[in-house]
Amino acid sequence: MTRKLKLFTDQKYLPKGHRYVPLLYPFWGFLPEGPQSIDFDRFVDYTANGSSLFSLTLVEDADALLFPCEWWSRCREMTEMEKLAKEYGKPIIVFFNSDSCEEIPVQNGIIFRTSLFASQRRLNEFALPGWSRDFLKAYLDGRIRLRDKQEYPIIGYTGYIDYHYALGYFVNLCSGIKKRGQMHPGAHLRGKAVKYLTQSRSIETNFLIRDRSGSAMARCFSREKNEVLRKEYVQNIVESDYLLVVRGGGNFSYRLYEVLSCGRIPVFVNTDCVLPFDHIIDWKRYMVWLEAEDIETIASKIVEFHSKLSNKEFHDLQLNARRLYEEWVSPIGFHSQIHRCLI
């Protein structure tokens, strides 16, 4: 049974001009996404049901204090909340959805953040999922399209890659080629993975290469155009057995959670990442896992993983991927479990 967490917060601790965190939507009201967003309903289910997971209470009765907006810098409101937390001997929950890996110097804080490095992780830091829409509900009528196991695994990927490693395998679509040192490490590593996967004769590739990143497209294109591109992206996931997942601008991947939401198996390239509830979940059970320094072996890792599965095990893994998403990393699943990080 999910524990109902008792939290204290107050709108006087919300800095002027800042949005409050999604955890508070069931209590303070749903905040719409921007007009360009195609993820406008990603928190609707949580907003409708989140009050069953938390209660807002007096500070003396609370399990923890909640800083009402995401971390952005040291501010007067945070300083005041830290003083209150110290007075009552309570921890402060802080959320930080950002590519930044900067230190968050909150006294007695419990930090949920998207981007962090395992080797630099502090004991009070936990991974926050990157949330898009629930693809299964938004695009697939809520039904998993189970794939049967074939002799050759199909590996999918839609997105941008580093030009230097794409050269010779795909036509370069980028305008203004950048020097290698300027490419962010995610695109660079994806380019390597695409190169090695394309060269393999034991794998079928299902690649749809874009000329810019998803965030860049979201800024440049209309919502309608981005929705068309999103549907192509979802189709690529559904029509693949395994999906390449590599970090983006920050040391985390929205794609990981999107793939799981469709009931598909990630091929996760670990770049010193921290994944949600990794003190509870054995993530390697749900994916093909390899370290970034072993990227040359990516094709053989997939083939080895695939060869060990029966058709039933292949089906079960797809179902378990979806179950993992629902119970642990969807907005409502994640919020239902965060009490486990306070124990």
Report d(CA 298, CA 291) in Å as an integer. 9
Report d(CA 190, CA 201) in Å as an integer. 19
- Name the residue among 165, 127, 153, 143 with its Cα closest to residue 256: 127
Residue 67 lies in a domain: yes
List the CATH number of the domain containing 324: 3.40.50.2000
Between the two ends of the chain, the Cα-to-Cα distance in Å is 15
Shared-domain flag, residues 248 and 320: yes
DSSP designation for 177 = P
Tens digit of pLDDT per residue, the chain (343 long)?
567 999 999 999 999 999 999 999 999 999 999 888 999 999 999 999 999 999 999 999 999 999 999 998 779 999 999 999 999 999 999 999 999 999 999 989 999 999 999 999 999 999 999 999 999 999 999 999 999 999 999 999 999 886 444 444 433 333 333 333 345 678 889 999 999 999 999 999 999 988 766 565 556 678 888 899 999 999 999 999 999 999 999 999 999 999 999 999 999 999 999 999 999 999 999 999 999 999 999 999 999 999 999 999 999 999 999 999 999 999 999 999 999 999 6
| Number of residues that this document lists for the chain | 343
Residue 308 lies in a domain: yes
User: pTM of the entire structure?
Assistant: 0.91
Residue 38 lies in a domain: yes
DSSP designation for 268 = E
Distance of CA 174 to the CA centre of its chain: 26
Shared-domain flag, residues 63 and 171: no
Q: Find the farthest-apart pair of alpha carbons in the chain and give their distance in angstroms, rounded.
A: 64
At 293, which helix (H) or strand (E)?
none
Shared-domain flag, residues 58 and 147: no
Report d(CA 237, CA 25) in Å as an integer. 30
Shared-domain flag, residues 195 and 271: yes
Shared-domain flag, residues 140 and 109: no
Shared-domain flag, residues 196 and 318: yes
Residue 13 lies in a domain: yes
Shared-domain flag, residues 100 and 220: no
**Secondary structure E strands in 133-203:** 154-159
- Structural domain count, the chain: 2
Q: Which domain holds residue 319?
A: 135-329
Residue 17 lies in a domain: yes
Shared-domain flag, residues 108 and 141: no
